Amino acid sequence: MPTFAKLDDASDQDRSTEPPGNSTTLHTTADRQLERLTRTAQRLTGTDSSAILLVEGDHQWIAASAGHVFPDTPRTLSFFYHALQRTPILVEDTLADPRMRHHPLVAQAPGIRMYAASPLLAEDGTLLGAFYLFDHRPQALCAMHRTCLDELAGVTASAVQQSRALASMTARNTTLMEKERRMLLAIEGSGTGIWDRNVAADEIHYSRSWKALLGYREHELTNRLMDSYLRVHPDDIDYVRATIQAHFEQKTESYEVEHRLRCKDGSYIWVSSRGKVVSRTPDGKPLRMVGTTQDITAMRTISERLRQSAKLLSDLSSEVPGLMFQRQQRADGTAHYSYVSAGIADMYELDPEEDNTIAPEAIHARIHPDDLQTYLTSFETSATQQKPWQLEYRVMLPRQGLRWRYGHARPQRLEDGTTVWHGLITDATERKRIETQWQALATTDSLTQLPNRHAFMTSLAAELARLQRDSTRMAAVLMLDLDYFKSINDRWGHATGDAALRHFASLLRRQLRQADVAGRMGGEEFAVILHGADTAAAAAFARRLQESLETTPLQPEGQGPIALTVSIGIAAMYASDGTPELALSRSDQALYRAKAAGRNCIEIG
């Protein structure tokens, strides 16, 4: 486990507020794979947020983050420069450090109190960036959490190295293909050997350039046909003879074959020979045949390298989780996928054509009907504005069922008006599921399954905003308190008390309309927003609720029925209210009067 260093000198404090040298911190699109690591770090350590900063040369950028510490923070106010060294850093309480307590991110929002970082080091010791943890609470990371941060930094460093190695490999392949293209042009402009065969005399005459292809001088080759066959590679001789005979018998328009020839030094080269019978006897027997020979050894080598490069890229794309694709859209709006990787089988449960293409209609058929128009419009917008395509959307698959997908691609406009996207589509199902769970946990009271206080106050603020946009609307706010709840807990226990809260929440939920909102404010207190209701309608709602509670007592298992009553305070919400808390306060005051009046009462504020 590494030793986490303290910030011991003023230079560290300087780096926390100003970038070193001419370096800049860039705003870039988050890396989805690295985001998984930041979310993992956040969950494992229980901290507010985490982030990954990458450096390369004079550039620095936030590659991924999780949490909410730095959503709108200027880069010049960040702590990121602290960890751009080779030792881990831990500040257990920023307020206890005289050099950090006045930092804007400490003294103001988000109020950072704990700050930890571990450097990302390449295998050769190169600094790639740093992995961070932040929290609004002062705390000393336990040994396990320090080790977790260090190990996640190591995993991140490995992932960054692999990503950069892949980018470098891609660049090298591009360079190789360019070199091979130039070589091919050179071959096309090279000399060509010419030969002239006298079929009846079994002789063949070669040009000087033909003899030079094999390394011979002009006087070093005979004209005997039998000698020419001795120079053909043994594995190719039958094929060459059969091809020539087929042309002699006029089964083909011309003679064309690729084969190997032995050079003067004993080595073999690949050649392409083309020829044609130019004279025949009256009965069709060949008399004379002329043709050319070109050295295609380099071309064959290039072809093999290209095949290997293509296989390498195909293998790499198959290992990338998700679907790599190239999409082309012409100026008239027609589109096609000119390349899809093997990941299409998992992302869409489709099989591509033999040339790794697929029709857009096949993909469109897999997209959820409610998301298809958004999907199509997003590509049109990207093409028109030449901005990156990014979209989360649902697909309906025969085997996997409903799944979420995330797509990202950058467009490129060609001279003819065609837009080409190169991008990646990945599975976002698990992330969406986690987001939904966290959203539910953040807004729902776990006991009653009603909105919690924070969620209710958000709805209350939204209701006030609607009234302020249209002062003719109405809304009523109710505060409710279960009577003698403490005595229920004292007499029958907290389990029965919890059952009473759930019972009341269930009855309350039945009385609500679709536009109404109810929430648990804490303990035995609840609140309700009645959309479009005045105080008279709210009072009628309150009476119905009390009657429902009276006719439906709580009946715990193994016990007799327990009668419950509720006190209710009502207040109207006005467009002139400066804050949503004003209406809630009026209803709370009315609730206080209802309880003072003997409970099980309704008061209007």
3-state secondary structure 431-495: HHHHHHHHHHHHHECCCCCCECHHHHHHHHHHHHHHHHHCCCCCEEEEEEEECCHHHHHHHHCHH
- Residue-level pLDDT at 317: 55
- Residue-level pLDDT at 10: 35
Say whether both 288 and 348 belong to one domain: no
Query: What average pLDDT is seen over the chain?
Result: 85
CATH of the domain at 459: 3.30.70.270
- Residue-level pLDDT at 79: 55
CB of 425 closer than 8 Å to CB of 347: yes
Residue 471's domain comprises: 444-604
Say whether both 223 and 84 belong to one domain: no
pLDDT in tens, 15-35: 333 333 344 444 445 578 899
pLDDT in tens, 47-61: 999 999 898 887 888
Say whether both 22 and 161 belong to one domain: yes
Question: Residue 380 pLDDT more than 90?
Answer: yes
CATH of the domain at 222: 3.30.450.20
Instruction: Look at the block and give the residue holding tokens 């419009």.
Output: 377
Query: Average pLDDT, stretch 468-486?
Result: 93
Question: Residue 368 pLDDT more than 80?
Answer: yes
Domain end, chosen from 408, 433, 458, is at 433
- Residue-level pLDDT at 26: 45
Number of alpha helices (DSSP H) and beta strands (DSSP E) in the chain? 17, 21
Say whether both 63 and 157 belong to one domain: yes
pLDDT in tens, 388-405: 999 999 999 999 999 999
Does 357 map to a domain?
yes
Say whether both 330 and 367 belong to one domain: yes
- Residue-level pLDDT at 163: 87
Say whether both 475 and 575 belong to one domain: yes
CATH of the domain at 98: 3.30.450.40
Query: Average pLDDT, stretch 575-581?
Result: 93
Does 310 map to a domain?
no
Question: Residue 363 pLDDT more than 50?
Answer: yes
Does 181 map to a domain?
no
- Residue-level pLDDT at 558: 75
Q: What are phi and psi of 352, to 5 degrees?
A: -75, 170
Query: Average pLDDT, stretch 78-104?
Result: 77
Query: Average pLDDT, stretch 361-380?
Result: 94
Q: What is the DSSP pairing of strand 59-66 with strand 24-26? A: parallel
Does 312 map to a domain?
no
Q: Left (φ > 0), alpha (ψ -120 to 50) or beta: where does 570 sit? A: beta
Does 186 map to a domain?
no
At 262, list the tokens: 């032995």
Residue count of the chain, please give it. 605
Say whether both 248 and 356 belong to one domain: no
**pLDDT class of 87 with cuts at 50, 70, 90:** confident
Domain end, chosen from 371, 398, 433, is at 433
CB of 441 closer than 8 Å to CB of 449: no
**pLDDT class of 84 with cuts at 50, 70, 90:** low
Q: Report how many domains make up the chain.
A: 4
243: which residues sit within 8 A by CB, 6+ positions away? Answer: 252, 255, 256, 257
Does 182 map to a domain?
no
Say whether both 381 and 518 belong to one domain: no
pLDDT in tens, 192-220: 889 999 998 999 999 888 998 899 998 89
How many angstroms separate the CA atoms of 388 and 489, rounded? Answer: 59
Helix 143-188 and helix 297-319, axial crossing angle in degrees, nearest 10:
160
The helix (run of H) or strand (run of E) holding residue 397 is strand 389-397
Q: Three-state SS for 423? A: strand
Does 438 map to a domain?
no
Query: Average pLDDT, stretch 105-113?
Result: 85
Domain end, chosen from 433, 457, 478, is at 433
